[in-house]
Structure 1
Amino acid sequence: MKTVLLAGAGLWALAVAPAWAQGPVSGTLTDARSGEALPGATIFLDGAVSGNTDAAGGFTIPAVPAGPHELRITFLGYDALMQTIQGQPEVQRLAARLQPGGVLTGEALVTAQRASDRTATAYTNLGKQDIAKRNFGQDLPYLLDQTPSVVVNSDAGAGVGYTDIRIRGTSNTGINMTINGIPLNDAESRGSFLVNVPDLASSVNSLQVQRGVGTSQNGGAAFGASINISTLDNRREAYGETQNSYGSFNTWKNTVQFGTGLVGKYFTFDGRLSRIKSDGYMNRAFSDLKSYYFAAGYQRKNTLLKFITFSGRERTYQAWNGVPEPAITGNRALLGNYVANGELSSSDSARVESEGRRYSYYTYDNQTDNYQQNHYQLHLSQGLGESWNIGAALHLTRGFGYYESYRARRKFADYGLPNVELGGDTLTRTNLVDQKWLDNYFYGGTFALNYQPPGARKLQATIGGAWNRFENDHYGEIIWAQYASTSSIRQRYYFNDARKTDYNAYVRTTYEVLPRLGLYGDVQVRHIEYTIDGVEDDQNDVTTRASYTFFNPKAGATLALGTGQQLYASFAVGQREPVRADFTDRPAGDTGAKAERLEDWEGGYRFTRADLTFFGPNTALRLEANGFYMSYQNQLVATGQLNDVGTALRTNVARSYRRGVELTGFVSANDKISLSTTLTLSQNRILDYQGVSYDADYNPVVEAPRTSTISYSPAVVSAHTLEGQPVKGLRLALLLKTVSQQYLDNSQNDRRRIAGYEVLDLRLRYAIQPRFVKEIELGLLVNNLLNKEYVANGYTYSYLGASGGLDTFNWYFPQATRNFLASVGVKF
């Protein structure tokens, strides 16, 4: 691959800029032969995606930190451009030219699934530095907390262990996550359990969050947002790094990374070992997480072959029950009602009063979740002449593990066992310990074929698709019982196996019909076959046969208004099948849940400039206003309906919607001080909602139709980061997050809600470059600086209870009060 120099004498001034200076870099990208602008090219800084060129070929990197950095620009049909740049106080304006004839290697498969300014969708790009500066060991959702419309929470309260993310109110079962184009979401539940890949953030070189349906991609969970993660980084120089953090609740993170750089001109090897441990904010909610990452790559001109394997092993104490409302409020009368209705025992009540908001429901010492997930990926990116490029991958994910639970006074019949005769008495119940296991394989292949003739900036096209197979055994074993009946050690009391085949194909193209007007089209066909055979833990037969075919069209348009300005609008359709529980929890004779459909309208305005003067001589400014209307048909929601054993069911509602506006902005003056802000205002409604309750005889009572607010959907979400460099090498940031109230269910009942909250964090990073190593960086993250007591998640249920009326029981997940994480990083 040729290295093409940036044109213009301004480039050479970079070498003499002060080492501590930081400022924006902007420029234009053109075809070296025709002089035409090249929109949609990918800009990399130190291997991380920093953006794309706009409709006029313009690009801006808002801040280039101190020290040397590799600038790389890639575009289909052209040789890549690579050059070392330095930070300097003044705005740097570059004129970059690409030579036709090369191909994009390394990013073909991932880039094919990503949005750009040409796809008329709402998205946020994060590079390696964006992720690293927030990474003190908390899970990946917490590193995305400042992106638009995002709300995060943690079961254990401190961001380590089981964490969750919502985007526009959409849970992680509707957020499609991929790693290098390979689906991460569980094929049955559609949840993405990032606790199974701890410290993945340390191996990420770029990440894109798409809001709304977004572009067609692999995976079946894209029903409101997508998170596209890339670890396909090729670092040409050898490196070694270590990151070590310690903080509140005895939290430790230890990470060692290495890379060989180019070996024998064509080969690279990279690796990482990580360990994260924490006692958790909640009592007994510990986490013990271990992971590794290894990649071996071969690259020669137009060919990139890369094998990647990574694995995570987690052991966490179960904190997913949360805490009862009286533990939060201190209301002793309400606590008594929980006891009167059998929700808590007398001993539980005493612990609630002594432990308060850090109360843990479980006391059995091995009430733990234990799971290991091994990932294997083989990626090929191949140039096929001047106009074509293909990215393909084979993958295998192997997952296995169990969670162990102490069960008090369980019926023998529930475990398929006979009663016990003891001293003339018949015992129908026993205390026991069981394990519920998952044992699964997920494997398949993906591809993306990209087309763009050299110099023809008007047309870009991708044909892509995937075939994936999921095989999962679910079973339970009794490992101890006080009265064993006829059971033996590891007595298996249920077993069912699930098989799911999912394949899709899509075609996407962008075409510039006029110099400033571009059109975008995207069509996907997806087919699913799903079978379950066997019985569930309640001894019910859960045999299932389901088949779906979905057609998901998307279209959009972009209009360049001038330098750095763009209008865009798009329409997209997303459809998805019900999750496993929608099949296995249905009562006998129920016809089952219907597939859901989402029609997503997006439109907005973008403004990006790095040469303004109203906040100083070198002001960089980014603004975006995005409006959305997401209209659902047959959305599956909880209405209060229960099955015959009291398990909550999800029911299709005919019509519902989310609509709102997302406002984002960034301003930086010489990068000495910067402010980024995002604000989402939304309405989230179910039309003709009919809640279900039950009378004293367990007969359902259906409420009259009305309009109601969708649960877990705050009307206002904002995030603001003020960052500055008061002295050389020191970067200080204040991060403010606000979330308005949320309802725990769809009844819009003020008795069942999460109060709004505001959280302020403080982050410091101080870097020095001594002679004996490349860099030493000291970091400090103070979470919840103002020591607020708040909860970020919860659940609720109601029934006719001991009071004689409808009793409501709310359970919450308190988040940690003021806490800290301190880190030391060394780069060799």
Structure 2
Amino acid sequence: MKNIFLFLTLLVLSVSANAQQNQVKQDSTKTEKLDEVLVKAVRVNADSPITHSNVSKEQLEKRNLGQDIPALLNYLPSVVTTSDAGAGIGYTGIRVRGTDATRVNVTINGIPYNDPESQGTFWVNLGDFASSIESLQLQRGVGTSTNGSGAFGASLNVLTDVLSDEASGEISNSFGSYNTRKHTVKLSTGLLNDHFEISGRFSKIDSDGYIDRAYTDLGSYFLQGIYKDENTLIKALTFGAKEQTYQAWYGLTADELQENRRQNPYTYENETDNYWQDHYQLHWNERFNNNWSTNLGLNYTKGKGYYEQYKPEESAADFDNLIEDDSDVIVRRWLDNNFYVLNANVSYKKNTLEIISGISYSTYDGDHFGEVIWGSDLAPNTNIRDRYYEGDATKNDFSVFSKATFKLAEKVTGFVDLQGRFVSYKTNGINSDLVSFVTDANFSFFNPKLGFTFKNSDFNSFYASYGRANREPNRDDFKAGVTENETLNDIELGWRHHKNKVSVNTNLYYMFYQNQLVLTGELDDVGSPIRATSGKSYRLGLEVDANIQFNKLFNISTNIAISSNKNQDFNSPINGELVDLGNTNISFSPDLVIGNALNFNPLKNLQLSFLSKYVGEQYMGNVDNEDSKLDSYFVNDFNINYEIKPNKTFKSIVISGLVNNVFNKEYVSNGFFGSYDYDDTSSPTGTTTGYYSGYYPQATTNFLVGVTLKF
């Protein structure tokens, strides 16, 4: 493995160096921006047989007033977003087609962002990252081959700021409900000596949160240096953040929700999550001629942090006897990890044939440990910050792919994408339950995708595709005894229509799984969702999104997703015996999701938008218990953007406003659900199953206003 890694690195570097000595003059009509090559290997074009949505910098800017990225993507097809603190800042999540955030593969400039162990995406570590995004693409379903953990519901790939020829500066400030503030400064030197640009961003976001004391304190940065000539682009960038958030994952019972939906059961003043994360990336794009180009990407990510928690009257055995029984205790549970990535790919394009082949290799090491920082009754011969558990983990991930687009006939384009992925995961030590946790697992996956697009006119095209994805269990799954991988087969049929002022994208999908890990509805002791294998299951759906320009003043963007999401022949222990429940609804998978934006442009630089989101009822568990049902909700927002272009001093002044939940709807977008057994002599089995549920209320009417000065 190391020899392959070294050989391919040297090969790409040597070919790139040779290319600079043999540059060929380019035909600008046949080439593409070198910036776009960073994500070319994980993105698809408009005619690809892959279901996708694109979002531009301009679209993000209109509502970027401090919210996390999931909140900004809330109106895309089949997307449902959640927020622990209730206002879209802090710990937020995104679900696509009912699949949770661990199934959404996220890459930044082609570099995997999902945490390798938990497979989750922690947007709280990317405060104000939307201010440094050039564009993003959300692929639904299996999608095309990507880097990192396999996409099991969607993949989201992000391209950060591209080269700017002109020097510029930007100061952005916003304020709003719950004492929310965002302050951003961006600078760019523009192109210096026709070859160099240096740019950067610094941001600070604070919010008290809708939920009591669920505050967020985020400081972040983005710095970038670029060298470019006619055929070469080299980008060195670093970005990162330091966050502190007060815990709000405990949720509320139904009675607490009625009593005071903003209350927070946590009362210890420092019940906080604290994490630091820094990313370092180097990208080298080289174009040899009109046909050949290469890309090399390197990444190092350093992450370290802890969450602090107060626990009253604890058992000595739970803390390795560092305390006496019934002692109150304050603990910190730490993560300390390093993540290295190498991506390399080569592209060939001539006429209607395009081939992209490449590799991705990543290695991760992480330490997990907990320490007692205070105890009301410490055991003899113990000290503050003694560790009561510790363990380590390593994960290596190697993938190789080749994808091709080619003409099958005059109006038919074919697509083939083949990927091999090889994963090893090892752990040692003990976990937070003081139980030995030793894992040594290896997986080898073959993930083929193929499809075709039939373009019968300039206005209409039809596509069909099949894709397979395999995915390894995450750390918590292994702890729960899950050792088998999941397999997803995805069939997509679509129609695209683009003519004059009307654009419509329609697709049918059938995603069928083997050993799908579905959310049980329960949470572990740190608020992470627990998953369990459901055997066979499927998701069948119809998605439609459209954009209609009525005239110069009005346009509407709307989407609807109708689906059926089922566990097949699902078994669950109920009242002391295993019961076959037949087909049940998959947890957190609403059958109906609708998004809508009505845009009005009364003046050239003024846009008023009325945004609506409907999410149908959904179950928080897989047993179709009525106590696990989340009600449907319909929420409306209002967004205003007005740009002033002065004659001097500033290039433009942009005034933005956002009123969320205009009609003051009290709704819940997320929660948890679980069961417990108790002795019951009246039951035939002597056992009765009880159920519990918790809810995360979302903010009622709230607002954000901001001013951006560009110069």
- TM normalised by structure 2 equals 0.93
- Say whether residues 1:528 and 2:404 are aligned partners: no
Offset, 1:385: 2.9
Per the alignment, residue 707 of structure 2 pairs with 824
Alpha-carbon displacement from aligned partner over 1:17-60 (angstroms, at most 9, x marks no partner):
xxxxxxxxxxxxxxxxxxxxxxxxxxxxxxxxxxxxxxxxxxxx
Alpha-carbon displacement from aligned partner over 1:654-698 (angstroms, at most 9, x marks no partner):
210001100111011444211010000000001000012464xxx
Offset, 1:725: 1.1
Aligned partner of residue 627 in structure 2, secondary structure: coil
Q: Which amino acid aligns with 1:175?
A: V
Aligned partner of residue 186 in structure 1, secondary structure: coil
The equivalent position to 2:308 in structure 1, one of 404, 407, 412, is 404
- Say whether residues 1:240 and 2:169 are aligned partners: yes
Query: Relative to 1, partners in 2 of residues 1:677 and 1:639: Cα closer, same or farther, differing over 3 Å?
Result: closer
2:125–2:242 CA contact under 8 A, matched in 1: yes
Per the alignment, residue 566 of structure 2 pairs with 685
The equivalent position to 2:470 in structure 1, one of 565, 571, 575, is 575
Aligned partner of residue 305 in structure 1, secondary structure: strand
Q: Which amino acid aligns with 1:390?
A: T
Query: Relative to 1, partners in 2 of residues 1:319 and 1:357: Cα closer, same or farther, differing over 3 Å?
Result: same
Per the alignment, residue 723 of structure 1 pairs with 599
Offset, 1:239: 0.6
1:641–1:692 CA contact under 8 A, matched in 2: no
Alpha-carbon displacement from aligned partner over 1:592-617 (angstroms, at most 9, x marks no partner):
3310000000011001123xxxxxxx
Aligned partner of residue 703 in structure 1, secondary structure: strand
Measure the CA separation in 1 of the matches of 2:695 and 2:521: 18
Measure the CA separation in 1 of the matches of 2:665 and 2:94: 20
Offset, 1:451: 0.2
Measure the CA separation in 1 of the matches of 2:205 and 2:275: 15
Query: Relative to 1, partners in 2 of residues 1:383 and 1:775: Cα closer, same or farther, differing over 3 Å?
Result: same
Query: Relative to 1, partners in 2 of residues 1:266 and 1:542: Cα closer, same or farther, differing over 3 Å?
Result: same
Measure the CA separation in 1 of the matches of 2:38 and 2:282: 12
Alpha-carbon displacement from aligned partner over 1:543-584 (angstroms, at most 9, x marks no partner):
000000000000000011111210000000000001101112
The equivalent position to 1:788 in structure 2, one of 665, 673, 682, is 665
Per the alignment, residue 545 of structure 1 pairs with 440
Measure the CA separation in 2 of the matches of 1:692 and 1:732: 53
Q: Which amino acid aligns with 1:511?
A: F
Q: Which amino acid aligns with 2:708?
A: G
The equivalent position to 1:437 in structure 2, one of 306, 320, 334, is 334
1:624–1:664 CA contact under 8 A, matched in 2: yes
Offset, 1:418: 6.3
Alpha-carbon displacement from aligned partner over 1:461-519 (angstroms, at most 9, x marks no partner):
10012000010000000000000113201010000000000010000001012221111
Offset, 1:413: 1.2
The equivalent position to 2:353 in structure 1, one of 455, 459, 463, is 459
2:150–2:470 CA contact under 8 A, matched in 1: no
- Say whether residues 1:512 and 2:402 are aligned partners: no
Per the alignment, residue 296 of structure 2 pairs with 392
Aligned partner of residue 249 in structure 1, secondary structure: helix
Per the alignment, residue 483 of structure 1 pairs with 377
Query: Relative to 1, partners in 2 of residues 1:386 and 1:485: Cα closer, same or farther, differing over 3 Å?
Result: same
2:572–2:578 CA contact under 8 A, matched in 1: yes
Is there any run of 5+ residues in structure 2 with no aligned partner, and where? 1-23, 682-687
Per the alignment, residue 278 of structure 2 pairs with 374
2:627–2:692 CA contact under 8 A, matched in 1: no
The equivalent position to 2:39 in structure 1, one of 96, 110, 132, is 110
Alpha-carbon displacement from aligned partner over 1:273-314 (angstroms, at most 9, x marks no partner):
001000000001000001000000000110101101001111
Give the number of the structure whose alpha-carbon radius of gyration is greater.
1
Offset, 1:119: 2.7
The equivalent position to 1:657 in structure 2, one of 538, 550, 559, is 538
Alpha-carbon displacement from aligned partner over 1:397-425 (angstroms, at most 9, x marks no partner):
000000000011111111111674xxxxx
Offset, 1:109: 2.9
Is there any run of 5+ residues in structure 1 with no aligned partner, and where? 1-76, 82-97, 331-352, 421-427, 587-591, 611-619, 696-700
Q: Which amino acid aligns with 1:652?
A: T
Which structure 2 residues correspond to residues 801-812 of structure 1 after superposition, within 5 A?
A: 806-812=689-695
- Say whether residues 1:121 and 2:2 are aligned partners: no
Measure the CA separation in 2 of the matches of 1:714 and 1:754: 9
The equivalent position to 2:458 in structure 1, one of 563, 572, 575, is 563
- Say whether residues 1:737 and 2:623 are aligned partners: no
Measure the CA separation in 1 of the matches of 2:367 and 2:322: 26
Aligned partner of residue 452 in structure 1, secondary structure: strand
Per the alignment, residue 27 of structure 1 pairs with none
1:103–1:386 CA contact under 8 A, matched in 2: no
Q: Which amino acid aligns with 2:454?
A: L
Per the alignment, residue 553 of structure 2 pairs with 672
Query: Relative to 1, partners in 2 of residues 1:642 and 1:462: Cα closer, same or farther, differing over 3 Å?
Result: closer
Aligned partner of residue 590 in structure 2, secondary structure: coil
Offset, 1:705: 4.2
Q: Share of identical aligned residues, percent?
A: 40
Query: Relative to 1, partners in 2 of residues 1:138 and 1:648: Cα closer, same or farther, differing over 3 Å?
Result: closer
2:522–2:674 CA contact under 8 A, matched in 1: no
Measure the CA separation in 1 of the matches of 2:521 and 2:176: 41
The equivalent position to 2:653 in structure 1, one of 772, 776, 789, is 776
Query: Relative to 1, partners in 2 of residues 1:648 and 1:380: Cα closer, same or farther, differing over 3 Å?
Result: closer
Query: Relative to 1, partners in 2 of residues 1:464 and 1:321: Cα closer, same or farther, differing over 3 Å?
Result: same
Aligned partner of residue 483 in structure 1, secondary structure: coil
Aligned partner of residue 626 in structure 2, secondary structure: coil
Measure the CA separation in 1 of the matches of 2:447 and 2:322: 52
Q: Which amino acid aligns with 2:456?
A: L
Offset, 1:822: 0.5
Offset, 1:323: 1.3
Query: Relative to 1, partners in 2 of residues 1:291 and 1:357: Cα closer, same or farther, differing over 3 Å?
Result: same
Measure the CA separation in 1 of the matches of 2:512 and 2:569: 14
Which structure 2 residues correspond to residues 233-632 of structure 1 after superposition, within 5 A?
A: 233-328=162-257, 330=258, 353=259, 356-417=260-321, 420=324, 428-453=325-350, 456=351, 458-486=352-380, 487-586=382-481, 592-610=482-500, 620-632=501-513
Measure the CA separation in 1 of the matches of 2:444 and 2:626: 40
Measure the CA separation in 1 of the matches of 2:465 and 2:397: 27
- Say whether residues 1:757 and 2:633 are aligned partners: yes
Q: Which amino acid aligns with 2:658?
A: L
Measure the CA separation in 1 of the matches of 2:25 and 2:81: 41
Q: Which amino acid aligns with 2:327?
A: T
- Say whether residues 1:637 and 2:512 are aligned partners: no
Measure the CA separation in 2 of the matches of 1:231 and 1:378: 13
Offset, 1:131: 0.8
Query: Relative to 1, partners in 2 of residues 1:824 and 1:78: Cα closer, same or farther, differing over 3 Å?
Result: farther
Query: Relative to 1, partners in 2 of residues 1:768 and 1:399: Cα closer, same or farther, differing over 3 Å?
Result: same
Aligned partner of residue 261 in structure 2, secondary structure: helix
Measure the CA separation in 2 of the matches of 1:358 and 1:623: 41
Measure the CA separation in 2 of the matches of 1:442 and 1:489: 30
Measure the CA separation in 2 of the matches of 1:648 and 1:517: 44
Measure the CA separation in 2 of the matches of 1:744 and 1:249: 28
Task: Supply the RMSD in Å over aligned alpha carbons.
Answer: 2.0
Aligned partner of residue 707 in structure 2, secondary structure: strand
1:745–1:796 CA contact under 8 A, matched in 2: yes
1:104–1:389 CA contact under 8 A, matched in 2: no
2:522–2:673 CA contact under 8 A, matched in 1: no
- Length, aligned pairs only: 679
Per the alignment, residue 13 of structure 2 pairs with none
Measure the CA separation in 1 of the matches of 2:145 and 2:304: 30
Query: Relative to 1, partners in 2 of residues 1:627 and 1:493: Cα closer, same or farther, differing over 3 Å?
Result: same
Alpha-carbon displacement from aligned partner over 1:349-376 (angstroms, at most 9, x marks no partner):
xxxx4xx111101111100000011000
The equivalent position to 2:99 in structure 1, one of 170, 173, 180, is 170
